[in-house]
Amino acid sequence: MKKFLTALILLSVVSCSPAADDQSARQGWEDMFKPVETPTEESSDPGESYDPESGERWFKMIGIICCWTDVAIRSKLDYIDIAKRTGINTFSIYNCDKESATWKSYTAECARNGIDIEFEEHMLGWLLPRDLFNKGFDNDGTNFNDYYRMNDHGVRINDYNGCPSCPAALDTIRKRAMIIGERYRSTNNKYYCWLDDSGDICHCPKCKDLNPADQALTFENVIIEGLRAVNPEATLAHLAYYNTVEAPKKVKPVEGIFLEFAPIDRDHFRPMSEANASGKDARTHGQYLKALADNLKVFPVETAQVLDYWLDCSLFSGWDETNLKQVPWNQALFEDDVKTYASYGIRNITTYTSYISANYVKKFGYPDCIDKYATYLRDFVKK
Q: Smallest distance, Å, CB 166 to Zn ion?
A: 6
Residues 6+ apart with CB under 8 A from 366: 36, 37, 38, 39, 77
Q: Is 83 in the site for Zn ion (CB under 5 A)?
A: no
Q: Smallest distance, Å, CB 209 to Zn ion?
A: 11
Q: Is 170 in the site for Zn ion (CB under 5 A)?
A: no
Do the Cβ atoms of 233 and 239 come closer than 8 Å?
no
Task: Give residue 191's identity as a one-letter amino acid code.
Answer: Y
Q: Smallest distance, Å, CB 204 to Zn ion?
A: 3
Site mask for Zn ion (CB under 5 A), range 95-134, x = bound: ----------------------------------------
Among 47-55, 69-77, 96-104, 161-169, the segment contacting Zn ion (CB under 5 A): 161-169
**C-alpha to C-alpha distance for 248 and 284, rounded to whole angstroms:** 19
**C-alpha to C-alpha distance for 346 and 105, rounded to whole angstroms:** 33
**C-alpha to C-alpha distance for 107 and 111, rounded to whole angstroms:** 6
* Chain-centre distance for alpha carbon 283: 21
Question: Which residue's CB is nearer to Zn ion, number 7 or number 163?
Answer: 163
Name which of residues 185 to 224 contact Zn ion (CB under 5 A).
Answer: 202, 204, 207
Question: Which residue's CB is nearer to Zn ion, number 150 or number 358?
Answer: 150
Q: Smallest distance, Å, CB 65 to Zn ion?
A: 31
Question: Which residue's CB is nearer to Zn ion, number 146 or number 267?
Answer: 146
Question: Which residue's CB is nearer to Zn ion, number 66 or number 202?
Answer: 202
Q: Smallest distance, Å, CB 9 to Zn ion?
A: 27
Question: Which residue's CB is nearer to Zn ion, number 104 or number 206?
Answer: 206
Question: Which residue's CB is nearer to Zn ion, number 174 or number 378?
Answer: 174
Q: Smallest distance, Å, CB 144 to Zn ion?
A: 14
C-alpha separations of 373 from 37, 73, 97, 306, 335 in Å: 19, 21, 28, 14, 9
Q: Smallest distance, Å, CB 168 to Zn ion?
A: 12
Determine which residue in the list 69, 165, 235, 303 makes contact with Zn ion, applying CB under 5 A: 165
Size of the site for Zn ion (CB under 5 A): 5
C-alpha separations of 267 from 81, 277, 315, 377 in Å: 31, 6, 12, 21
Identify the CA nearest to 128 among candidates 258, 254, 226, 211: 226
Total count of residues recorded for the chain? 383
Name which of residues 238 to 257 contact Zn ion (CB under 5 A).
Answer: none
Q: Smallest distance, Å, CB 136 to Zn ion?
A: 19
C-alpha separations of 271 from 85, 279, 286, 304, 333 in Å: 27, 11, 11, 20, 5
Identify the CA nearest to 262 among candidates 244, 281, 235: 244
Identify the CA nearest to 286 among candidates 237, 355, 340: 340
- Print the SS3 string covering 296-327: CCCCCCCCCEEEECCCCHHHHCCCCHHHCCCC
| 203 phi and psi angles, rounded to 5 deg | -115, 25
Site mask for Zn ion (CB under 5 A), range 318-357, x = bound: ----------------------------------------
Q: Is 163 in the site for Zn ion (CB under 5 A)?
A: yes
Question: Which residue's CB is nearer to Zn ion, number 112 or number 153?
Answer: 153
Question: Which residue's CB is nearer to Zn ion, number 204 or number 213?
Answer: 204
Q: Which residues bind Zn ion (CB under 5 A)?
A: 163, 165, 202, 204, 207
